């Protein structure tokens, strides 16, 4: 019995020494900002919302992609964008009507955002079309306090 306990302790110690303690420390959450590519005096945050069977995810902003997060960090779910300028956000919209799911890529023509404000971007629909909604962050649904909406045409 002592040999089994000793052997288990040695295995655990070796695993810790080989893999280090990085697996035990949660990664630091950092915010990504696209503001550096613009001459802007402020930023606004957008949360990309995915719920149940539908959602939306950022691909790039005016052809600028987010780099991978640095080691030991991960990007926050809110992304900072320059305020007071029109933006072209390339997004994936997705819906899961079956176990494989579907997705499409398109451009969301984002109107100028107010500096210091927080927003949510939602998709509601499927392959027959739908809408992308920009709301204030306090919104509990895609259709409450809508700032801007854009039609998504039916799929091919």
Angle at 146 between CA 144 and CA 150, to 5 degrees: 125
Structure tokens at 122: 């939602």
DSSP code string of the chain:
-HHHHHHHHHHHHHHHHHH-SGGGSPPEEEEEE-GGGS--S-EEEEEEPEETTEEEEEEEETTBPPPPPPTTEEEEEEEEEESSS-EEEEEEEEE-SSSS-EEEEEEEEEPPPPTT-EEEEEEEEETTEEEEEEEETT-SSTTSSEEEEEEEPPP-
Q: pTM for the complete prediction? A: 0.77
For residue 4, pLDDT over 70 is answered with no
pLDDT in tens, 25-70: 557 999 899 877 766 678 999 999 987 778 999 999 999 999 998 8
Instruction: Give 103's pLDDT tier (boundaries 50, 70, 90).
Output: confident
Give the pLDDT confidence score for residue 39 in this predicted structure.
66
Give the pLDDT score at 14.
56
pLDDT of residue 102: 79
């Amino acid at each position: 019995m002592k040999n089994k306990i000793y052997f288990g302790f040695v295995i655990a110690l070796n695993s810790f020494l080989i893999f280090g303690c990085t697996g035990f420390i949660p990664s630091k959450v950092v915010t990504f900002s696209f503001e550096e590519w613009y001459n802007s005096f402020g930023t606004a945050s957008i949360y990309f919302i995915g719920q149940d069977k539908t959602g939306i995810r950022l691909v790039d902003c005016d052809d600028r992609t987010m780099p991978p997060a640095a080691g030991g960090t991960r990007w926050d779910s809110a992304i900072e964008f320059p305020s007071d300028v029109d933006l072209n956000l390339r997004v994936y919209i997705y819906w899961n009507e079956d176990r494989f799911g579907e997705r499409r890529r398109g451009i969301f023509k984002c109107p100028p955002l107010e500096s210091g404000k927080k927003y949510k971007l939602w998709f509601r629909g499927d392959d027959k079309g739908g809408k992308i909604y920009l709301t204030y962050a306090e919104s509990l649904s895609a259709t409450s306090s809508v700032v801007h909406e854009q039609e998504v045409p039916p799929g091919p």
